[in-house]
Amino acid sequence: MATTRAGNLLAAFSFVLWGLLPVYYQFLPAPDMPELLALRILCSVPTMLLVFWLLRRPMPNWRQVFKNKRSVAISGIAALIMSVSWCAFTWAIANGQVLAASLGFFINPLFAIALAVFILKERLSYAQGIAVCLGILGIAYQVWHYGELPWLALIMGSFFALYGLCKKYVEFDAMTSVTLENILLAPFALLFLIGDAIWGTPVALGGDSTTLLLYIGAAPVTLVPLIFFALALHRTSLTMVGLMQYIEPSLQFILAVLFFGEIFDNVKAVSFALIWGGLLFCSLEAIYALRKHRHHRNSGGNLPQV
């Protein structure tokens, strides 16, 4: 029980940190996205190695890791997919589109459900079917009124779901996997930064020290929540983690409306309400399944004797 409680707290804390990320990026209005991404990737490698040391975890046997060519290849694909999702998220919250970032994470479970059905051949539950239908209606309502798709939210939600799908086929633990993803991209990030410094007009590398530190800081501020999340996965159930993941977009939604002054009109209200309704159905179903599992476990799982 103590382990479960600790895991729940770690998971909740990780999602709170992710939810507060827009506050950090307010100090970086309209950043140079390629340079920011390259610096984040490059600085993530020493950051992750430092985390291994701080948590007193044994360093991965990289020779053995790279022998698993299939998982290494999938990790490389996952790293590219995550880069797209992270760029869309960062651009959104650095350019006054925090509501779009919030919507992206709210609809992410719907994309994950769709991938599970079409790729993993899983069956939709009744609640999941309702959630998908309501999510489609929510997006369609925005398209009908605005005349365009919410591209940022769709890119974030779909690519993050694809990232999660890739992780299912990777045979490494979470921390090794995240470190490997950045190691694989680090040479390309370094080449880009060298080329940008010689032939381009770098913003951080050629600017003031404060800007450079903010760009470098993008690595730890995005990796620290991931570490708490990885620690939580070993101490609580995936059901509880899934329910608590809505802390992140909820905080971003509150920040966007109350603190950043983004417009939340009637169209967004109806669209969000439909998506929230679908997620509520999934959450209630998950809570019921969790309680049923606990009751079955506490009763010993034995059939009544005749």
pLDDT tens-place string over residues 73-103: 999 999 999 999 999 989 998 888 999 999 9
- DSSP at 150: -
Which pLDDT score, from 0 to 100, does residue 303 have?
Answer: 42
Q: What is the pLDDT of residue 137?
A: 93
Contact 111, 284 (CB under 8 A): no
CB atoms within 10 A of CB 144: 10
Residue 219 CA: distances (Å) to CA of 3, 244, 255: 29, 23, 22
Q: What pLDDT, on a 0 to 100 scale, did the predictor assign at position 3?
A: 64
Q: Long-range contacts for 171-177 (Cβ within 8 Å, ≥24 apart)?
A: 171/68, 171/70, 171/71, 172/60, 172/65, 172/68, 172/71, 172/75, 173/230, 174/226, 174/229, 174/230, 174/233, 175/48, 175/51, 175/52, 175/57, 175/227, 175/230, 176/60, 176/65, 177/75, 177/78
Please, are residues 25 and 94 in contact by the beta-carbon 8 Å criterion?
A: yes
Select the more confidently predicted residue: 90 or 299: 90
- Other beta carbons less than 10 A from residue 192's beta carbon: 18
User: Tens digit of pLDDT for each residue in 188-233?
Assistant: 999 999 999 888 888 887 778 888 999 999 999 988 887 787 777 6
- Write down the pLDDT at residue 238: 60
Q: Which phi and psi angles does 52 have, rounded to 5°?
A: -55, -45
Question: At what angle are helices 69-94 and 98-118 packed, to 10 degrees?
Answer: 150
pLDDT of 256: 92
Its pTM stands at 0.84
pLDDT at 235 over 80: no
pLDDT for residue 306: 33
Give CA separation, 173 vs 165, 167, 169, 170, in Å: 15, 10, 11, 8
pLDDT at 233: 66
- DSSP reduced 3-state for 114: helix
User: What sign does the dihedral 66-168-47-40 (CA atoms) show?
Assistant: positive
Mean pLDDT of 248-275: 91
Query: Which of 20 and 206 is assigned the larger pLDDT?
Result: 20
Q: Tell me: the pLDDT tens digits for 27-61? A: 887 788 999 999 999 999 999 999 889 888 899 99
Residue with the larger pLDDT of the pair 278 and 183: 183
Mean predicted confidence (pLDDT) in 122-128? 82
Higher pLDDT, 11 or 299: 11
Q: Which residue type does 187 have?
A: P
Residue 281 · residue 131 · CB < 8 Å? yes
- Can you give the pLDDT at residue 209? 86
Q: Is the pLDDT of residue 302 over 60?
A: no
Q: Is 157 or 290 the better-scoring residue by pLDDT?
A: 157
What pLDDT shows up at residue 300? Answer: 59
Mean pLDDT score across all residues of the chain: 86
Structure confidence at residue 189 (pLDDT) = 95
